[in-house]
């Protein structure tokens, strides 16, 4: 179908609105909605902020002023995701739209949720509303990549992240020099921290290995920005992390992953046999703990394990202006990488440090 410039403009606005829920909406999808008059003027906007709150369609309708209510029967609604047609924590949005009976509904893409898939659009067509789908579909599928990946694979979306110097080292210290309690090494400058914390805030969990926890004693929060901190996943198959480790003070926000025969600390323990592989770990994190996405922050062995198993979707890296000629080597980037097609910024500078953003080639084919 050929979309008009106004269709594309209003759907792009709906996508921008949906992004407002990026740090709070999980496990629900990101959804934005724009309502326009017959003349094409915007009379209502809304987005879904967090589970249990009003959906984007409800918020958009609520934003229509009393003086513009008479325009609703001839209005067009632009929604990034197919309106729900089932009763969850909130009433179905398809019923709301049906009660308004706008002239036209434009949907970016269908919902893969079996409770929704095709039902919302079908119901509204039967009500006599013109329903058109596929406007900027690929962009919305990318925006909701975690949601769609979960539905298809029943495991978290995986993002690998690390910082390295220009010579390809994570740390000037060797593994033997990185002793417990030594503390982390500041590879990038302070300007990079806010961007890193923004990356963290977009994922539901941050994972590190036990050695990184013991040596670096990281905080793993998003203190540089105003956003909720993600859950922490401590990968500790040998059970070497002591219960006194500072990260366990935030027990209600932490998943301690231990091997068989070891006791987990904190409120949430996950037993994982490392010989069962990373697929088994990801299945457990999603099925038992509802982890939709995870940022793997280290150390080198954990990052390399995910790369070797080819169990990653995105890679985000920092390259420092610093140069070392020995120490802890950074993982090797895969030979085949793509830049995210629907992002305007996939590389940049912060202070003297450069960041890059890559995706797995399979992601572009979904």
Catalytic site positions: 57
Q: Which helix (H) or strand (E) holds 36?
A: strand 32-36
Measured N-to-C along each axis, helices 119-126 and 93-100 cross at an angle, to the nearest 10 degrees, of 20
Please, where are the H alpha helices in the chain?
A: 5-18, 56-62, 93-100, 119-126, 137-143, 145-153, 191-201, 210-216, 277-289, 300-308
Report the alpha-carbon angle 218-220-221, nearest 5: 135
Q: Which two tokens stand for residue 311?
A: 């169990």
Closest CA to 31 of 104, 98, 102, 116: 116
Q: Cα(222)–Cα(229) distance, rounded to whole angstroms?
A: 5
Cβ neighbours around 4 below 10 Å, total: 11
Chain centroid to CA 356: how far?
A: 17
Closest CA to 202 of 126, 35, 316: 316
Chain centroid to CA 250: how far?
A: 22
Report the alpha-carbon angle 138-140-146, nearest 5: 105
Q: Specify the residue for token string 């037993």.
A: 271
């Amino acid at each position: 179908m050929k979309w008009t410039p106004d269709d594309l403009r209003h759907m792009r606005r709906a996508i921008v609105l949906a992004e407002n829920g990026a740090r709070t909406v999980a496990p629900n999808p990101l959804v934005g909605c724009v309502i326009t008059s017959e003349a094409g003027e915007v009379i209502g906007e809304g987005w879904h902020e967090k589970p249990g709150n009003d959906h984007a369609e409800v918020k958009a309708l609520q934003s229509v002023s009393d003086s513009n209510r008479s325009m609703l029967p001839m209005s067009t609604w632009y929604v990034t995701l197919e309106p729900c047609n089932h009763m969850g924590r909130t009433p179905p949005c398809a019923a709301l739209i049906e009660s308004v009976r706008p002239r036209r509904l434009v949907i970016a893409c269908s919902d893969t949720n079996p409770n929704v898939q095709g039902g919302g659009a079908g119901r509204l067509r039967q009500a006599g509303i013109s329903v058109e789908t596929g406007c900027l579909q690929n962009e919305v599928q990318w925006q909701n990549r975690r949601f769609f990946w979960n539905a298809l694979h029943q495991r978290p979306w995986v993002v690998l992240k690390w910082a390295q110097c220009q010579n390809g080292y994570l740390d000037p210290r060797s593994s033997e020099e990185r002793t417990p309690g030594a503390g982390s090494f500041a590879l990038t400058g302070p300007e990079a921290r806010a961007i890193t914390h923004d990356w963290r805030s977009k994922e539901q969990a941050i994972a590190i290995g036990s050695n990184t926890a013991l040596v670096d004693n990281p905080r793993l929060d998003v203190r540089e920005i105003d956003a909720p901190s993600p859950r922490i996943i401590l990968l500790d198959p040998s059970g070497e992390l002591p219960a006194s480790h500072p990260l366990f003070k935030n027990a209600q926000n932490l998943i301690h992953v231990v091997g068989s025969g070891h006791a987990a600390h904190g409120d949430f323990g996950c037993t994982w046999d490392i010989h069962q592989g990373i697929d088994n770990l990801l299945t457990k994190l999603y099925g038992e703990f509802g982890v939709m996405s995870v940022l793997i922050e280290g150390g080198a062995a954990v990052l390399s394990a995910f790369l070797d198993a080819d169990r990653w979707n995105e890679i985000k890296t920092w390259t420092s202006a610093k140069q070392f000629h020995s120490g802890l080597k950074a993982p090797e980037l895969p030979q085949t990488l793509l830049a995210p097609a629907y992002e305007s910024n996939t590389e940049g500078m912060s202070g003297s440090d450069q960041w890059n953003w890559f995706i797995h080639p399979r992601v572009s084919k979904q």
